[in-house]
């Protein structure tokens, strides 16, 4: 489904954005309900409204947006442009061509590693962390810890989707990071 131009009705509501998310059962593994944002970003008004709603929730005074590869790049870059700040990519292991700092973290199945170029962060600057979805919070927490190691203040994170039953937002809160999302899906 593709939404039409919204006329003078203003940006789509977050409820309307939720209807643009496609759910794929049993992907990538049995029992996982994959919340697919590609149907949201393929929708012009949906994509624009997602960024508008994220910008409304962004705290004042941030110096940069950091997005987590790969879907965090889509929302994070657009949000950085809207907020008129720079973008810091949090990359999968082995992608950056310079000296990096990295963090290993647990996934539902196995382990992963993310890396950043610490020279992109100035000491004490406030960096807003962005990803498409927070589940257990392992990925976002590892990214926030990396940004902090590089000298950033990282106490705010923004997501399109929260899966509250998996406890990620609470886990971030326990680590001094306030997490906001445009929508929630119950269950996992």
Site residues for ligand AMP per CB under 6 A: 32-35, 68, 71, 131-140, 168
Catalytic residue among 35, 69, 99, 108: 108
Specify the residue, 35 or 53, whose C-beta has the smaller distance to ligand AMP: 35
CB 68, min distance to ligand AMP, A = 6
Specify the residue, 125 or 160, whose C-beta has the smaller distance to ligand AMP: 160
Q: List the beta bridge partners of residue 89.
A: 67
Catalytic residue among 35, 71, 91, 115: 71
Does the annotation mark 56 as catalytic? no
Distance, in Å, from the CA atom of 1 to the CA atom of 18, rounded to the nearest integer, reads 12
Does the annotation mark 71 as catalytic? yes
Specify the residue, 6 or 188, whose C-beta has the smaller distance to ligand AMP: 188
CB 160, min distance to ligand AMP, A = 9
CB–CB of 48/20 below 8 Å? no
φ, ψ (nearest 5 deg) of residue 184: -125, 150
CB 181, min distance to ligand AMP, A = 11
CB 6, min distance to ligand AMP, A = 26
Specify the residue, 12 or 140, whose C-beta has the smaller distance to ligand AMP: 140
Annotated active-site positions, please? Answer: 71, 108
């Amino acid at each position: 489904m593709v939404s039409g131009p919204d006329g003078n009705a203003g940006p789509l509501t977050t409820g309307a954005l939720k209807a643009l998310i496609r759910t794929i059962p049993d992907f990538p593994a049995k029992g996982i309900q994959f919340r697919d944002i590609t149907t949201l970003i393929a929708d012009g008004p949906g994509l624009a409204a997602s960024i508008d709603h994220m910008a409304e929730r962004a705290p004042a005074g941030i110096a940069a947006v950091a997005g987590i590869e790969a879907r965090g790049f889509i929302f994070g870059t657009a949000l950085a442009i809207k907020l008129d700040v720079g973008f810091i990519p949090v990359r999968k292991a082995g992608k950056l061509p310079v000296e990096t700092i990295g963090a290993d973290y647990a996934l539902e199945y196995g382990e992963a590693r993310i890396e950043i170029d610490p020279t992109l962060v100035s000491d004490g600057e406030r960096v807003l962390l962005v990803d498409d979805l927070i589940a257990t919070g392992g990925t976002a927490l590892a990214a926030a810890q990396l940004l902090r190691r590089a000298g950033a203040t990282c106490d705010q994170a923004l997501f399109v989707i929260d899966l509250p039953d998996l406890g990620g937002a609470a886990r971030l809160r326990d680590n001094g990071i306030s997490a906001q999302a445009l929508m929630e899906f119950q269950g996992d």
